Amino acid sequence: MKKFETKLITSGRDIKYTYGAINPIIQRTSSVVFNSITQQQQAIKNHNITDKLFYGRYGTITHFSLRQSMIELENGVGCVLYPCGTAAITHTILSFIRPGDHILMTGSAYEPTQKFCRYFLKKMNIDTTWFDPLIIGHDLSNLIQHNTRLVILESPGSITMEVQNIPDIVKTIRKKKSDIIVLLDNTWSAGIFFKALDMGVDISLQSGTKYIIGHSDGMIGTAVSNARCWDQLQEQSFLMGQMVDSDTAYMASRGLRTLYIRLKQHEENGLHVAHWLAQHPAVERVNHPALASCKGHEYFIRDFSGSSGLFSFILKQRLNNWQLSNFVDHFRYFKIAYSWGGFESLILVNQVEELHPIRPAGTLDFKGTLVRVHIGLEHPNDLINDLSDGLNRINIQQSI
C-alpha cells in the first residue's frame, strides 16, 4: 500500500489527466461536443461516471483529476466538489435529508453549519438537536429518534477544539439505527491526520479553502463518500447544480502536492507556540488537541496521526474593548481575519457570550476571553515574540 505522502504526489496524475505533462491540464469548458447521436446517447448514459465528459457542470478533466486525488487521500469511493466548504456541508445535508427528518449535531460545529440547520432546515420541518461534543454511549443513544437521519460531527470542534470519540459515536449510532448517515467536518486534519472513512464515518467534508488550497487565494469544498452513500450524494448534488470552476480545481490539485510538508511545518510551529502559551501567566488554558489541557486529548492521541496549525487558548482575564484593541490591533505577523489554513498566521478573539447563542447549555466552561490562532509558516520565535508583546500590552493605558 502506498503511503499517503506518496499518494499526494502521484494521485490524479494518470496520463488521461495530464496528457503527458506533470500536472493535470486545465480544461475550461461549458459544452462538450459529441461527434454523433450515438456518442451523445452514450454520454447521457455515462454522465454519472466520474471521468467521462458530458457537460461542463458535471466536471472536466481537471475536476476528474482532483476528485481522484481526494478519493485516494481520504480512502473513499467518490468525491463531489463544491464552490466552498459551506456549500459542501449544506448540499451534502440536503442530499440526504427529507422534510420531517431529525438531525443530531455536535454543539462544537462550525457556526454556519449550525445556522443552516437552525434557520434554513427548520423551515422545512427538519429539527436539529445539539449535543455535547464529548458525548458517548447511552447519552448519545438516548438522543436518537425514530426519524433521525443524519449525525453531523466535527473534530476537533470549531473555536473550542474538543476532540470527539468518533469510533465510539459511530458504533453507538450503528447499533441503535443503522440507516443513519454520519457526516464529519474534517477540515482541521485536511484529511491527512484523521482518516474519517476508516473510522466508520460515511462522508468526510472539507473546506479545501483552508489547507488544501493552502495559500488563502481560492475557495473550494470537498465531500468524499464511502460506497453506501456515494450514488445518492453524487446524484443529488448534481441536481442542485453544484460545481466549481476548473482553475480553482487546479489550484486545489496543486495544493495537494505540498500539503503534507506544509502541514508538518504548521504542526511543528503550532506546537512550539502552544507550549509557550501554556506556561504564560496570562493564559488559563490552551485548547490544542495535542496538549493534555484540550478536551478529548485522549482521543486525539489514539485516533490522529498529527496536528495542524489551528488552536485556541483562553486568557485568565475577560478583556474589555480597549484591552482587546491593545492586544489585537498591533501585531506584526498575526492578521485579524476569518478563515485559516494559508501560509500566514491569523488571530480572532471571542467572548464567551458570543458563542452562547450557538452552543448547547453547559458546554462552555470558561469566562476569560478566547483567542483563536492559526499558526502559519513564519519562524515560530517571531510569532512567540509577537504574542508576547501583545499579551504585555493588554493593560497599557492609551494616551489620549
Ligand X SMILES: *Cc1c(COP(=O)(O)O)cnc(C)c1O
- Active site residue ranges: 57, 110, 185, 210
SS (H, E, C) 194-249: CCCHHHCCCEEEEECCCCCCCCCCCCCEEEEECHHHHHHHHHHHHHCCCCCCHHHH
Q: Does 215 bind ligand X (CB under 6 A)?
A: no
Span near ligand X by CB under 6 A; candidates 82-90, 130-138, 271-279, 319-327: 82-90
**Shortest gap between Cβ of 187 and ligand X (angstroms)?**
4
* Residue of closest CB approach to ligand X: 85
Cα separation, 303 vs 276, whole angstroms: 25
Per the CB < 8 A criterion, the answer to whether 276 and 28 are in contact is: no
Which of 185, 202, 245, 267 forms a contact with ligand X (CB under 6 A)?
Answer: 185
Return all residues near 236 (Cβ < 8 A) that are at least 6 apart: 91, 94, 95, 96
Q: Does 158 bind ligand X (CB under 6 A)?
A: yes
Which of 24, 76, 107, 221 forms a contact with ligand X (CB under 6 A)?
Answer: 221
Q: Does 309 bind ligand X (CB under 6 A)?
A: no
Which CB, 221 or 306, lies closer to ligand X?
A: 221
Span near ligand X by CB under 6 A; candidates 36-44, 71-79, 80-88, 244-252: 80-88
Per the CB < 8 A criterion, the answer to whether 384 and 269 are in contact is: no
**Shortest gap between Cβ of 206 and ligand X (angstroms)?**
8
Report the SS3 class of residue 81.
Answer: strand
Which residue do the cell numbers 460515511 mark? 202
Pairing of strands 346-350, 335-336: parallel
Q: Does 191 bind ligand X (CB under 6 A)?
A: no
Q: Does 186 bind ligand X (CB under 6 A)?
A: no
Q: Does 313 bind ligand X (CB under 6 A)?
A: no
SS (H, E, C) 140-159: HHCCCCCCEEEEEEECCCCC
Which of 65, 108, 155, 209 forms a contact with ligand X (CB under 6 A)?
Answer: 209
Which CB, 293 or 339, lies closer to ligand X?
A: 339
Which CB, 169 or 348, lies closer to ligand X?
A: 348
Cα separation, 66 vs 246, whole angstroms: 10
Q: Which amino acid is at 230?
A: W
Binding interface with ligand X (CB under 6 A): 84-86, 110, 158, 185, 187, 207, 209-210, 219, 221, 339
